[in-house]
């Protein structure tokens, strides 16, 4: 007799086979059930990438107003990190959200790689007149609409009133006066500077915008590059001269050291965007009540030009499977009165909607940090004076990286500030040509 | 566990089993099972190393433009890399960096290992852990902390200098930045190398040390004539690791860049250059070619180093 045969008894192998079969069966059934349940009554699920703090409240408002749409809010990083993820997803062909938080200056860049959907077919143009004209310019091309304006950053000057008073400095209305004030201040106290001039691409572009620069003109695959035009040259030389004379600092911005310098009065003014005041409150708590806002100094006596730094939009990506609902989401979040009113009081975004910009409630809101000044009205004025016709390049990260490198090199003395625009022009032109653009 | 089946009375001859199915199965299992153990590693190795390398190699012979899509360009990217001043500048910078930083770091590691091994130190474990601790700090955190320490306005060295009335040293200026980064890397990896050398020292037979002591050799003589020659293989191992690591320098440069945009450009190190080509310039294919070029440089340098050291070993 052989040893016990396995006939008639469950062996481990049999058990595994049965278990496997059962599992497989369950998967198949479950899968089918999932597919089967996808009837038209199931809610549409959208993914929204945005870095606005405390945004869930407004997203919930949207879900309440649109019962058939569910929104998953994801903070995929602020600015550059999110753009890298978006670019990776677009290149991979999957993984991009339905609606994404994109700043104005990056719209042409993502349009170039076919990442932004044209939502004019879903009625976006109906809302055109609700928004400040220059913001609509930035998101549209003819009748096509690639994003909905969300918030903006018109530029003005924040300054320390107490230090101005201490040294007898008047608020400068022209850049000439600003230069004189800088010298006067630094002579009185060599450790204090009227401002810092960091190698920040976005900020310097904002200043150049105010001076009348129009570095890019994009027409399909033709791009006009004028990074060495007279306005940019003027701005570079003006600030370069002040830095070389030692009356303006040239430390990198956005670092811990910079925040501390602003907080303790080493830098007495900050030409900045409309999101600057709240930002300043966060980093310079000690100097509460001592700051004020004023319009940017002008290049010409009596002018009132301003520009924009930052500001963002909500755009629908070309990977979205529910473009119509995604467009609804983008439009509602940037246009409906309920959430948009909340942006100004909860997250302190500077509005792009004409209703809010003109509302007395918004303009007259007093800020303790600014000694009770109605700071918003200064920036509303600036918003009305933002220069028209400014365009961004379709490769803005490259431009910013080059600006930071060149102005950084100038700050450490490796090159002259007056030489920077020419260097930028050369580098960016070569890059554009290499990427297949027709440059003129 | 086959139980002897023969229940027959009488002689049950010890069977020499012919290679029947059971035996063949056993042999097959013996050969296959080790590979099954290796399988998890092999899968991960293939998916996360071989496949991406193959993909990178594949795209490096193309060029994609923002306008015009992707074109096959053959070895163009590599030829461009060879003549690219940004890439070559980065390589030269790393050679300069390595020529100073690696000997200093390994010398320090060797010294510490010898001192710990010599037995004159109390609390050896404490010191071993202490020296190794910087390696346990993630390099991103280390770079951030050192960035603060180097701060020209509020860093501790700057504050100390101010107290003493001296001008604050600008550690991240053009002339000093390479040295400052070398300092961070040395701080991070000396302990790691020290542990490797210390372990090698443990393998030195005690009879040799005793023989040396009997011959009247003093501490440093024992170290120089007995211990070091015996741990040369370990020393060369750490040197090759350090050479490879030098050319891969990335974290410290990238973290410190916002604080020193004038000193640390996007092509400061070859690895940083490859990164910014991909993520800032969107030139993915050229970035892949640069990555392989870096690999080639590393292979050449390692090979040269091993040639030189082998010859010396044979010569002595």
Query: Do A403 and A431 belong together in one domain?
Result: yes
- Confidence label for A165 from pLDDT (cuts 50, 70 and 90): very high
* Of the listed ranges B86-95, B129-138, B157-166, the one predicted with least confidence: B157-166
Using CA coordinates, name the residue in chain B closest to A266.
B153
**Closest-CA residue to A317 (of A103, A119, A106):** A119
User: In this predicted structure, what is the pLDDT of residue A25?
Assistant: 44
- CB contacts of B68 in chain A (<8 Å) are 436
User: In this predicted structure, what is the pLDDT of residue A4?
Assistant: 42
Residue A193 maps to a domain: yes
Residue A302 maps to a domain: yes
Query: Do A298 and A200 belong together in one domain?
Result: yes
Distance CA A418, CA A238 (A): 9
pLDDT over 50 (residue A24): no
Distance from CA of B210 to the nearest CA of A (A): 57
Instruction: Give the closest of A3, A401, A412 to B262, CB-based.
Output: A412
Non-local (6+) Cβ contacts of A338 within 8 A are: A58, A61, A65
Residue A324 maps to a domain: yes
Beta bridge partners of A45: A70
Subunit contact B66:A398, Cβ cutoff 8 A: no
Distance from CA of B57 to the nearest CA of A (A): 18
CB pairs below 8 Å between A and B: how many?
82
Pull the structure tokens for residue A12: 């481990």
Query: Do A318 and A266 belong together in one domain?
Result: no
- CB contacts of B276 in chain A (<8 Å) are 401
Provide long-range contacts, Cβ within 8 A and 24+ apart, for B134-139.
B134/B187, B134/B188, B134/B189, B134/B190, B134/B191, B135/B188, B135/B189, B135/B191, B135/B192, B137/B188, B139/B188, B139/B251, B139/B252
CB A50 within 8 A of CB A101: yes
- Confidence label for A254 from pLDDT (cuts 50, 70 and 90): confident
- The count of structural domains within chain A is 2
Pull the structure tokens for residue A426: 């050369």
Residue-wise pLDDT for B222-265, tens only, equals: 888 888 888 999 999 999 999 999 999 999 999 999 888 889 99
- CB contacts of B260 in chain A (<8 Å) are 252, 408
- Confidence label for A14 from pLDDT (cuts 50, 70 and 90): low
Residue A368 maps to a domain: no
User: In this predicted structure, what is the pLDDT of residue B216?
Assistant: 82
Query: Do A122 and A258 belong together in one domain?
Result: no
Mean pLDDT within A326-349? 92
Q: What size, in residues, is chain B?
A: 316
User: In this predicted structure, what is the pLDDT of residue B120?
Assistant: 76
Using CA coordinates, name the residue in chain B closest to A403.
B261
Where helices occur in A104-152 by DSSP H, the ranges are 107-112, 133-139
Q: What are phi and psi of A193, to 5 degrees?
A: -125, 145
- CB contacts of B174 in chain A (<8 Å) are 412-414
Distance CA A231, CA A73 (A): 41
Distance from CA of B296 to the nearest CA of A (A): 26
Residue-wise pLDDT for B185-211, tens only, equals: 999 999 999 999 999 999 888 888 888
- Confidence label for A172 from pLDDT (cuts 50, 70 and 90): very high
Subunit contact A408:B262, Cβ cutoff 8 A: yes
Non-local (6+) Cβ contacts of B146 within 8 A are: B180, B183, B184, B187, B252, B256
Instruction: Give the closest of B66, B148, B173 to A395, CB-based.
Output: B66
Query: Do A91 and A162 belong together in one domain?
Result: no
Query: Do A175 and A241 belong together in one domain?
Result: yes
Query: Do A132 and A256 belong together in one domain?
Result: no
Pull the structure tokens for residue A150: 């969300």
Distance CA A389, CA B244 (A): 51
In terms of C-beta density within 10 A (0-12 exposed, 13-18 middle, 19 or more buried), how is residue B304 classed?
exposed
Instruction: Give the closest of B65, B263, B284 to A412, CB-based.
Output: B263
User: In this predicted structure, what is the pLDDT of residue B312?
Assistant: 63
CB A293 within 8 A of CB A378: yes
Subunit contact B153:A2, Cβ cutoff 8 A: no
pLDDT over 80 (residue B13): no
According to DSSP, the β-strands at B62-65 and A69-74 are: unpaired
Angstrom CA distances, B87 to A399, B119, B281, B290, stand at 20, 47, 15, 8
Residue A19 maps to a domain: no
Query: Do A288 and A172 belong together in one domain?
Result: yes
The H-or-E segment that residue A211 falls in is none
pLDDT over 90 (residue A69): yes
User: In this predicted structure, what is the pLDDT of residue B137?
Assistant: 94
Using CA coordinates, name the residue in chain B closest to A412.
B262
Query: Do A294 and A160 belong together in one domain?
Result: yes
pLDDT over 90 (residue A433): yes
Distance from CA of A348 to the nearest CA of B (A): 27
pLDDT over 70 (residue B19): no
Most confident of A10-14, A363-367, B44-48, B147-151: B44-48
pLDDT over 50 (residue A158): yes
Subunit contact A256:B154, Cβ cutoff 8 A: yes
Mean pLDDT of chain A, nearest integer: 88
User: In this predicted structure, what is the pLDDT of residue A26?
Assistant: 43
Angstrom CA distances, B141 to B137, B146, B150, B188, stand at 7, 9, 14, 11
Instruction: Give the closest of A401, A408, A435 to B276, CB-based.
Output: A401
Q: What are phi and psi of B59, to 5 degrees?
A: -80, -15
Using CA coordinates, name the residue in chain B closest to A3.
B5
Residue A13 maps to a domain: no
Residue A340 maps to a domain: yes
Distance CA A330, CA A327 (A): 5
* Of the listed ranges A197-201, B63-67, B265-269, the one predicted with least confidence: B63-67
Query: Do A171 and A254 belong together in one domain?
Result: yes
Query: Do A302 and A338 belong together in one domain?
Result: no
Query: Do A414 and A401 belong together in one domain?
Result: yes
Most confident of A14-28, A38-52, B176-190: B176-190
Residue-wise pLDDT for A205-235, tens only, equals: 999 999 999 999 998 889 999 999 999 999 9
Mean pLDDT of chain B, nearest integer: 88
CB B101 within 8 A of CB B180: no
**Closest-CA residue to A44 (of A69, A80, A67, A13):** A69
Supply angle C-alpha B25, B31, B34, rounded to 5: 125
Pull the structure tokens for residue B62: 């193309």
pLDDT over 60 (residue A29): no
Q: What is the CATH number of the domain that holds A286?
A: 3.40.190.10
Mean pLDDT within B61-80? 89
Residue A28 maps to a domain: no
CB A48 within 8 A of CB A98: yes
Domain range for A204:
155-307+389-439
């Amino acid at each position: 007799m052989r040893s016990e045969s396995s006939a008639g008894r469950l062996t481990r192998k049999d058990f595994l086979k049965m278990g496997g079969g059962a599992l497989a069966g369950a998967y198949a059934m479950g899968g089918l059930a999932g597919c089967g349940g996808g009837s038209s009554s199931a809610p549409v699920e959208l993914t929204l990438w945005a870095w606005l703090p405390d945004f869930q409240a407004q997203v919930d408002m949207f879900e309440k107003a649109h019962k058939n749409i569910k929104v998953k809010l994801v903070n995929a990083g602020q600015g550059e990190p999110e753009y890298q993820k978006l670019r990776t997803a677009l290149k991979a062909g999957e993984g991009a959200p339905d609606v994404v938080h994109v700043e104005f200056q990056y719209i042409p860049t993502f349009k170039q790689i076919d990442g932004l959907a044209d939502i004019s077919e879903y009625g976006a143009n109906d809302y055109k007149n609700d928004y400040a004209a220059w913001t609509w310019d930035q998101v549209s091309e003819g009748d096509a609409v690639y994003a909905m304006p969300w918030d903006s950053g018109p530029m003005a000057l924040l300054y320390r009133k107490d230090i101005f008073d201490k040294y007898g400095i008047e608020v400068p209305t022209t850049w000439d006066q600003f230069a004189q004030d800088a010298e006067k201040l630094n002579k009185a106290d060599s450790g204090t500077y009227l401002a810092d001039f960091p190698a920040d691409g976005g900020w310097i572009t904002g200043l150049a915008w105010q001076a009348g620069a129009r570095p890019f003109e994009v027409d399909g695959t033709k791009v006009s590059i004028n990074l060495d035009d007279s306005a940019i040259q003027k701005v570079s030389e003006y600030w370069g001269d002040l830095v070389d004379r030692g009356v303006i600092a040239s430390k990198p911005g956005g670092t811990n050291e910079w925040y501390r310098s602003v907080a303790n009065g080493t830098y007495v003014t900050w030409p900045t965007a409309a999101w600057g005041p709240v930002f300043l409150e966060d980093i310079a708590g000690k100097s509460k009540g001592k700051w004020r806002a004023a319009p940017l100094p002008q290049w010409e006596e009596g002018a009132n030009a301003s520009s924009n730094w930052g500001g963002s939009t909500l755009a629908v990506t070309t990977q979205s499977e529910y473009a119509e609902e995604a467009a609804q989401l983008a439009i509602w979040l940037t246009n409906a009165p309920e959430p948009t009113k909340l942006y100004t009081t909860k997250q302190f975004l500077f509005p792009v909607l004409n209703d809010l910009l003109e509302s007395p409630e918004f303009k007259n809101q007093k800020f303790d940090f600014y000694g009770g000044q109605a700071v918003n009205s200064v920036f509303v004025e600036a918003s009305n004076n933002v220069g028209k016709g400014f365009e961004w390049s379709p490769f803005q990260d490259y431009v910013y990286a080059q600006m930071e490198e060149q102005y950084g090199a100038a700050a450490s003395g490796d090159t002259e500030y007056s030489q920077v625009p020419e260097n930028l022009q050369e580098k960016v032109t070569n890059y554009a040509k290499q990427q297949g653009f027709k440059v003129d | 566990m086959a139980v002897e089946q023969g229940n027959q009375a009488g002689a049950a001859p010890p069977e020499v089993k012919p290679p029947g199915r059971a035996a063949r199965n056993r042999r097959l299992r013996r050969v296959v099972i080790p590979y099954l153990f290796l399988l998890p590693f092999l899968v991960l190795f293939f998916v996360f190393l071989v496949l991406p390398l193959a993909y990178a190699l594949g795209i490096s012979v193309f060029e994609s433009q923002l306008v015009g899509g992707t074109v096959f360009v053959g070895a163009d990217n590599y030829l461009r890399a060879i003549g690219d001043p940004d890439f070559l500048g980065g390589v030269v910078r790393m050679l300069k960096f390595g020529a100073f930083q690696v000997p200093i770091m390994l010398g320090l590691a060797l010294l510490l290992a010898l001192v710990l091994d010599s037995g004159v130190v109390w609390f050896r474990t404490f010191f071993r852990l202490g020296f190794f601790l910087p390696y346990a700090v993630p390099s991103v955190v280390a770079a951030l902390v050192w960035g603060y320490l180097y701060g020209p306005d509020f860093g501790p060295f700057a504050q100390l200098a101010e107290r003493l009335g001296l001008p604050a040293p600008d550690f991240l200026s053009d002339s000093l930045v390479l040295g400052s980064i070398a300092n961070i890397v040395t701080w991070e990896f000396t302990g790691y190398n020290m542990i490797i050398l210390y372990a090698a020292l443990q393998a030195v037979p005690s009879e040799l040390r005793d023989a040396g002591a009997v011959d009247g050799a003093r501490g440093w003589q024992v170290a120089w004539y007995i211990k070091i020659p015996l741990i040369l293989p370990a020393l060369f191992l750490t040197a090759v690791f350090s050479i490879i690591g030098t050319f891969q320098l990335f974290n410290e440069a990238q973290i410190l860049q916002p604080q020193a945009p004038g000193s640390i450009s996007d092509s400061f190190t070859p690895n940083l250059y490859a990164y910014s080509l991909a993520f800032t310039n969107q030139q993915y294919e050229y970035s892949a070619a640069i990555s392989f070029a870096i690999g080639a440089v590393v292979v050449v340098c390692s090979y040269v180093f091993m040639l030189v050291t082998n010859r010396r070993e044979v010569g002595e």
